[in-house]
Amino acid sequence: MIQWGEMAPYLLGLRLDGRRVLVVGGGRVAQRRVPALLDAGASITLVSPSVTPALDDLIADGRVVWERRPYQPGDCDGVWLVQACTSNRDANTAIAAEAEAKRIWCVRADDKDASAAWTPASGRVDEVSVAITAGGDPRRAAGIRDAVVSALRDGTVDARRHRTKPVGVALVGGGPGDPGLITVRGRQLLAQADVVVADRLAPRSLLDELPPDVELIDAAKVPYGRFLSQERINELLVEHAKAGRFVVRLKGGDPFVFGRGGEEMIACAKAGVPVMVVPGITSAVAVPAAAGVPVTHRGVSQDFHVVSVHVPPGHPDSTVDWKGLARSQGTLILLMAVERLAEIAETLQGDGRSPETPVMVVQDGTLPTQRAVIATLSTVAERVTAAGLRPPAIVIVGDVVGVGQEIEMVRAERVP
């Protein structure tokens, strides 16, 4: 049996598209190796008396040729790479010896020291492939691989040095506030930006991580305070993109849920600027969840309605069917509603909602400063004023608030 020395391996990316690869063994090791080989385009022959159900699916799809028998001499003929994955050490030794005699690279799953090649822990982010060997220790290699891939995905590793970087504008949903709730794609694009145009409700801590050469434009729209018009925001997106800079429009929540993302997309399209949309986690669902309230629950609510209350009920500009919402048994999620709670509660009660309907108001949802008030439709305006809750806050109206309270009670009883 060949024992290899302590020299470091020479890492090489094999282009296996259309080339034959032999896999001997049909157990869990082969189950892990075969999909990666298929992703590389390899033509796989699998030799084993039996296979796992997952491998059986790949065989049924015609992606793998299965020789239902043990290994036999000559199986290595005409292949470019061999994976010896049986549970029989003697069989793996024989497979490796035949491959060595025929000058074919062979990976032994059972003995790293006797293996002519190692299968690295690998990962891929866009066009970047990562392969880690860690001296043949698969657990350590996988841990390092995961850390590197994670850093590439979230932009921790400098993503701005790409030869080819995105162009135009990306409308990125930053999520409900907690910086950990931005999507992987959103964080990745943020790390590649030349210019970031940020909303007041975008996750601010992410902005502190931007390199010093990134231009940050504050597009905050503070109620009754400083205000950057939507028209000017549209102009800034187009101006910077046409100057060759990659622009990220970072928004709270989702760009298309009361985020005016559609208007920005139209402005870019009219100007001939490429624009992409990265969906975000909307606060309409995330904040109730963070407060322990499911927006739907079997036997309680089969539907939920998300409403922007930037104008009050009865206002000429309102398109909300308040009478229909009052008659509905579904959950109401109200955004931009805190300062109009008295009018909303009066309207809903006047149109048929019970004054005893449970209501929860959650301020700073998903953030460390999150706090909430629970009341009824008849008392919520007074209770919120007394507690001093202010925007940004989400108002949840419906019996699901009671489900959230039940969950909290169960949790409290389970605490030792």
Query: Does residue 58 contact residue 82 with C-beta atoms inside 8 Å?
Result: no
Query: Does residue 275 contact residue 265 with C-beta atoms inside 8 Å?
Result: yes
Q: Which among 180, 211, 177 has a CA at the least distance from the CA of 194?
A: 211
Query: Does residue 44 contact residue 34 with C-beta atoms inside 8 Å?
Result: yes
Catalytic status, residue 221: yes
d(CA 273, CA 266): 10
Place of tokens 């931009």: 336
Q: Which among 393, 368, 389 has a CA at the least distance from the CA of 205?
A: 368
Query: % helix / strand / coil in the chain, to the nearest 5?
Result: 35, 20, 45
SS3 287: helix
Query: Does residue 363 contact residue 395 with C-beta atoms inside 8 Å?
Result: no
- Active-site annotation holder among 221, 323, 351, 399: 221
- Side chain identity at residue 84, one-letter code: A
Residue 30's contacts (CB-CB under 8 Å, 6 or more residues apart) are: 23, 46, 48, 51, 52, 55, 83, 85
- Active-site annotation holder among 110, 154, 199, 254: 199
Place of tokens 């949903």: 173
Q: How many CB atoms lie within 10 A of CB 176?
A: 28
SS3 25: coil
d(CA 39, CA 109): 20
| Beta strands 121-125 and 128-132, pairing class | antiparallel
Positions annotated as catalytic residues are: 199, 221
